Amino acid sequence: MANAVTIQGVMTAVGLTSPTAAQLAYATFCADYAEATIKKIRNQYADAWVAETLYTRGQKVNTNGYILTCVSGGTTDATEPTIINGEIADGTVTWKKYGIDSVEAMYQPLAIQMATALYNRQGIEGAKSFAENGMSITFDSSDIPRDMIKQVIPMGSVY
């Protein structure tokens, strides 16, 4: 399920102050889809965790469906770390977990932009077309814009 901040961000961006159940459901769907897209792309840039390996601050690994970001460099243990909330000790490395239900804070504004773009590409309450009095409109139903997709890349930091 999408982060409440993303859902609220979409509703604010599209001007929904008192959304119907259908509008809220569609905003939630768009937020879920945007966050899932970010997670999928992000996971492609995280290498698999490796035992007894030197990692430096900022590196990411993928283990047991979670993305771990190194917050204190060192050498990993001989066995994979137990995934818990908060910081995770692994040999002399300390990791921070980003999992199935989270999108890093640095991606939150982008998730809102993506979800809003998806929401705005549909008609009222998710309709893809509308016809009345001999006039018909078909709404764009394509995916998240490519320029937004390109923003989901490994983000480095200087420490």
What tens digit of pLDDT does each residue of 24-63 get?
A: 888 898 888 888 888 777 777 788 899 999 999 988 888 8
Rounded Cα gap, residues 96 and 70, in angstroms: 6
3-class state of residue 109 by DSSP: helix
Of the pLDDT bands very low, low, confident and very high (cuts 50, 70, 90), residue 69 is confident
What residue type is 53 in one-letter code? T
Render pLDDT for 74-88 as a digit per residue (tens, 0 to 9): 999 999 998 877 789
Of the pLDDT bands very low, low, confident and very high (cuts 50, 70, 90), residue 149 is confident
Q: How many other C-beta atoms lie within 10 A of the C-beta of residue 121?
A: 16
